[in-house]
Amino acid sequence: MRSVYSVFSAAVAIVASIATPFSAQAQAPQWPIPGKTIRIVLPFPAGGAGTDMMARLIGKKLSDDVGVPVVVDNKPGASTIIGAQEVAKAAPDGHTLFYTVVITHTQNPHLFAKLPYDPFKDFTALSQVARSATVLVAGKDTPFSDFKGMVAYGKANPGKLNVASYSAGSTAHINAEMLRVAAGIDMVHVPYKGVADAAKALMSNEVQLYFDGTANAVTSIKAGTAKGIATATDKRVSVLPDLPTLAEVGVQGIDIVGWQGFFGPGGMHPDLTRKISAALAKITKSDEISNLIKNQGNEPTGTTSEEFAKIVRNDYERWGVVIKRTGIKLEQ
């Protein structure tokens, strides 16, 4: 007959064998794993002065800081959905990061009846890098140079005023739809596959207008390859002080500030989340990156994970109201 002690010892051994894996799971995974590449998924094409350049610069600094390779993996298309669903399915070990803009988590859920990802459950907010905005620009050869001239041209030439966006359902598309209604002009929306393609269409006179990101808009306006019409901001852009806001020219409500930021897959360990968030925020707040962001007309932030999660949730609610008002609905 087995003793009470031996039975108790066997029970303890069984409990220990079951508890050990859970204890191990409760610990944050090592990050980074020496020699293992960190991949930054970017849901936009390569090129341009906006998200692609910023992702590569931050990636280079992150690699220098943590001692492992960091690569940018461009996964453009489908309103950022292609890149988003890849990150949503990745292991939450900190070696797959997602650098995106406001569209993925705050606009797409209201534009599409069904998405292959949940904007909150399938992602971990890590750090907002910058607050950004859009600028309404016109091609350099357009027969108008300001907002009043644009409206006059649009009303005199119904259906001949084309406005580009980098994707159907993007901020550029939503802003253009709100502008069409507010200004009472007939504009034709032309979606392209990415920021670079939309900008090229403007420069080659395929379209006359485009709500471009601040970084690209500043570059184009200063180079003389585009004309600034107005900014979709609540105040003038510091590096374009002579360019009025849309509110100043009589159009209200097109002023929700956008952002760029990092996410990881859902289910990341809290300690790992904090560690990566701190590493990214440190880079954002460095002189090199923060000055670059300011020179692009944007505002560097470098938030914590908790701060960024609140921003995402608030903007999700705000864009829901705006998109419902425009009536835009999309299908994959």
What's the CATH number where 196 sits? Answer: 3.40.190.10
Q: Under 8 Å CB-to-CB from 216, ≥6 apart: which residues?
A: 48, 49, 50, 195, 199
Structure tokens at 6: 């031996």
The DSSP code for 42 is E
> Taking the mean position of all CA atoms in its chain, how far away is CA 164?
18
Which among 198, 232, 266 is the end of a domain? Answer: 232
Residue 238 lies in a domain: no
Single-letter residue type at 154: G
Q: Is 329 helix (H, G, I), strand (E, B) or coil?
A: coil
Task: Give residue for tokens 């253009």.
Answer: 176
- For residues 64 and 202, membership in a common domain is answered with no
CA 83 – CA 74 distance, rounded (Å): 8
Cα-Cα-Cα-Cα dihedral of 125, 99, 269, 63, to 10°? -140
Which token pair is 83? Answer: 């890149």
DSSP secondary structure, 241-271, as one string: TTSPBTTTTT--S----EEEEEEEETT--HH
Whether residue 138 sits in one domain with residue 124: no
**Which residues, in sequence order, are CB contacts of 312 under 8 Å at separation 6+?**
105, 106, 119, 120, 125
| Residues comprising the chain, all counted | 332
Q: Could you tell me if 124 and 185 lie in one domain?
A: no
Question: Does 79 share its domain with 216?
Answer: no
Quote the CA–CA distance of 156 and 149 in Å, as a whole number.
11
With respect to residue 118, please indicate whether it lies within any of the assigned structural domains: yes
The rounded distance, in Å, linking the Cα atoms of 145 and 136 is: 11
pLDDT at 167: 87
Q: How far apart are CA 310 and CA 304, in angstroms?
A: 10
131 vs 293: CA distance, rounded Å: 9
Other Cβ atoms within 10 Å of 223 Cβ, number: 9
14 in a structural domain: no
The span from the CA of 174 to the CA of 178, in Å, is: 6
Q: Are residues 80 and 62 in the same domain?
A: yes
Pick from 116, 49, 39: nearest CA to 79: 116
In the numeric block, which tokens belong to residue 187?
A: 């504009």
Instruction: Say if strands 161-165 and 70-74 run parallel, antiparallel, or are unpaired.
Output: unpaired
Residues 181 and 125 in one domain: no
Same domain, 122 and 55: yes
Residue 239 counted as domain residue: no
DSSP 8-state symbol, 29: P
Q: Are residues 197 and 56 in the same domain?
A: no
Which pairing describes strands 38-42 and 96-101: parallel, antiparallel, or unpaired? Answer: parallel
Residue 58's domain spans which residues? Answer: 38-131+257-326
How many helices (H) and strands (E) the chain has is answered by 11, 11
pTM for this prediction: 0.86
Residue 308, domain member (yes or no): yes
Q: Are 225 and 181 in contact (CB under 8 A)?
A: no
90 and 49, same domain (yes or no)? yes
48 and 106, same structural domain? yes
Residue 30 lies inside a defined structural domain of this protein = no
What pLDDT shows up at residue 59? 98
Is 9 a domain residue? no
The CATH number that applies at residue 74 is 3.40.190.150
Count the domains in the chain.
Answer: 2
Find how far residue 274's CA is from the centre of its chain.
20
**Sequential pLDDT tens for the chain (332 residues):** 444 444 434 444 433 333 334 344 578 899 999 999 999 999 998 986 689 999 999 999 999 999 999 999 999 988 999 999 999 999 999 999 999 999 999 999 999 999 999 999 999 999 999 999 899 999 999 999 999 999 999 999 998 999 999 888 999 999 999 999 999 999 999 999 888 889 999 999 999 999 998 888 999 999 999 999 999 998 999 899 999 999 999 999 998 889 999 999 999 999 999 999 999 999 999 999 999 999 888 999 999 999 999 999 999 999 999 999 999 999 87
Place of tokens 């029970």: 11
Tokens of 95: 């070696």
Edge-to-edge strand order for the sheet containing 38-42? 70-74, 38-42, 96-101, 258-265, 123-132, 299-300
Q: Tell me, what DSSP letter sits at residue 107?
A: I
pLDDT of residue 28: 86
Q: Is 152 inside a domain boundary?
A: yes
Token pair for 221: 């306006």
Same domain, 143 and 125: no
Do residues 66 and 108 both lie within one domain?
yes
